[in-house]
Homo-oligomer: A and B are copies of this chain.
Amino acid sequence: MTGIKDVAREVEMSTATVSRALRGLPGVTDETRQRVMEAARRLGYVPSPSAAGLASGQTRTVAVVVPFVTRWFFATVVHGAEQVLREHGYDLLLYNLGGDPDARHRVFETSLLTKRVDAVLVLSLTPTEDELTRLSALGRPVIIVGADIPGWATVRIDDVEAAAAATRHLADLGHRRIAYIGGATEGVLDFTAPTARLAGYRRTLADHGLPHDPALEEDGEFTVAGGLRAGRALLSLPDRPTAVFAASDEMAIGVLRAAHQLGLEVPEDVSVIGIDDHEMAGYFDLTTVAQSADEQGRVAARQVLCALDTSEWKPEQVILPTELLVRRTTAPYVGTAGR
C-alpha cells in the first residue's frame, strides 16, 4: 500500500510537506502542491483514516443514531444529513436502534461512540438523563433532530403548532367531533413529538370551545398498521368523529384505509389530516401539515460542521417551518344531512 512516505520520496520532500499539500493547508507553494498531488495520483496514494485519526484526534466521521431507518421520516433525515456531510468529506456511521431496547442500551452504554466519531446526531429520541450525561461526557458536539431537549442543540419543527394548525384547519371547516391519533407519550423509544402534538390538539380544541372527549384519542403507534387499527376503532364508534387528525401521515394513510374498509367516503363522511407530507401523501391526496425531513437532516449536518470548526460553539435551537397543505381528504362539515 503506498503511503505518504512513498509520495514524499517521489517528490523528494518531507512527509510533512506532502501532508500539508494533500490536505490543502496553507504554507505550501502552488507548484509544490501540484507536484505532490500529481505524484499522489500517479502512485495511487490512498490516505489512511486510522492513522490520520490517531495522529490528529479527528475521525471525520459522525455518528447518526436513529430509532428505525425504515421509517420515512428517519430515512429522509439521514438522507439529508448524509448529503451535506459527504459533501464536506465526512462519513456517516449509522446506529440503527431498530426498536430493540438492548440496542439502545448498548449504543449509549458502551460508548462505542467515543474516539470513533467527531460528533453525534440523535434522531427524535428523548435521551434519558443518564444518556444525556454520557452524551455530554463525549465532549463532542451532539445535535438532536426532531425532539425538544432544552439546553441541547436541536433541529425540529414546532410540534405543538403543527398539531394546532391541523386541528384548527378541521375546526375551521366546521368539525366539532375531531379525533386524534397519536403515539405513546412514553416508553422504551420515547419521543417528544407525540406529547407536543397531543398538546397542540387539545389546546386548539379548547381554543375553539370544542369539548374534549377522551374516547376520541387513540394510539396509532406512528405506523400505518396502528393508524388502521385506531381509525377502525374511532370510525366504528356509535357517535363517530367527523374528522380525524393523525399525528403522522403514515397513521393518516391507515385511517384512509380504515374508512375505505368501513365503507366510508373521505372526505364526504370523514375528513382526515396528517402531519409530515410523507412521499406518499400526495398520491392519496392527503391534506397534511408538511415538514421537511430532508431539510432537518441538512440543517443538522450543517450544525455539526459548524460546531466542528467553531472553537467556541454553543448549542442552538433551530425550528423549521411547517405548512398546511390542503389536498382532498378534508372538507367542510355538512352535518348529517350531507351523508
Q: Confirm or deny: A185 has a beta carbon within 8 angstroms of a beta carbon on chain B.
A: no
Q: Confirm or deny: A253 has a beta carbon within 8 angstroms of a beta carbon on chain B.
A: yes
- Cβ A228 vs Cβ B115 within 8 A: no
Q: Which of B53, B111, B283 contacts A50 (CB 8 A)?
A: B53
- Cβ A68 vs Cβ B79 within 8 A: yes
Q: Confirm or deny: A91 has a beta carbon within 8 angstroms of a beta carbon on chain B.
A: yes
- Cβ B228 vs Cβ A283 within 8 A: yes
Q: Which of B47, B51, B79 contacts A70 (CB 8 A)?
A: B79
Q: A82-B94, A94-B82 are in contact. Are A1 and B69 (CB under 8 A)?
A: no
- Cβ B50 vs Cβ A59 within 8 A: yes
Q: How far is the CB of A56 from chain B (nearest CB, A)?
A: 9
Interface string of A42-76 (1 = CB under 8 A from B): 00001111110110000101001000111010011
Q: A91-B116, A257-B283 are in contact. Are A69 and B75 (CB under 8 A)?
A: yes
Chain A interface residue number, banded? 35 or more
Q: How far is the CB of A265 from chain B (nearest CB, A)?
A: 12
Q: Confirm or deny: A273 has a beta carbon within 8 angstroms of a beta carbon on chain B.
A: no
Instruction: List B contacts of A75 (CB < 8 A).
Output: 69-70, 75
- Closest-by-CB residue of B relative to A1 is B115
Q: CA–CA, A282 to B114, complex, Å?
A: 42
Instruction: List B contacts of A93 (CB < 8 A).
Output: 61, 91-94
Instruction: List B contacts of A306 (CB < 8 A).
Output: none
Q: Which of B68, B82, B280, B283 contacts A98 (CB 8 A)?
A: B82
- Cβ B91 vs Cβ A92 within 8 A: no
Q: A48-B54, A224-B279, A253-B280 are in contact. Are A69 and B59 (CB under 8 A)?
A: no
- Cβ A94 vs Cβ B115 within 8 A: no
Instruction: List B contacts of A280 (CB < 8 A).
Output: 224, 253, 280
Q: CA–CA, A116 to B91, complex, Å?
A: 10
Q: A225-B283, A280-B253, A283-B254 are in contact. Are A69 and B82 (CB under 8 A)?
A: yes
Q: Which of B69, B72, B115, B282 contacts A78 (CB 8 A)?
A: B69
Q: CA–CA, A181 to B76, complex, Å?
A: 26
Q: Confirm or deny: A86 has a beta carbon within 8 angstroms of a beta carbon on chain B.
A: yes
Q: Confirm or deny: A313 has a beta carbon within 8 angstroms of a beta carbon on chain B.
A: no
Q: Which of B70, B72, B228, B284 contacts A257 (CB 8 A)?
A: B284
Q: CA–CA, A182 to B42, complex, Å?
A: 43
Q: Confirm or deny: A19 has a beta carbon within 8 angstroms of a beta carbon on chain B.
A: no
Q: Confirm or deny: A192 has a beta carbon within 8 angstroms of a beta carbon on chain B.
A: no
Q: A69-B69, A72-B70 are in contact. Are A82 and B96 (CB under 8 A)?
A: yes
Q: How far is the CB of A146 from chain B (nearest CB, A)?
A: 16
Q: Which of B46, B49, B76, B96 contacts A79 (CB 8 A)?
A: B96
17 inter-chain pairs at a CB distance below 8 angstroms, sorted by A residue, are A46-B115, A48-B54, A48-B115, A49-B53, A49-B116, A50-B50, A64-B94, A68-B79, A70-B79, A78-B94, A82-B98, A83-B96, A86-B95, A92-B94, A224-B280, A225-B283, A253-B280
Given A92-B94, A254-B283, output 4 extra A-B contacts at Cβ < 8 Å. Answer: A49-B115, A69-B79, A86-B103, A224-B283
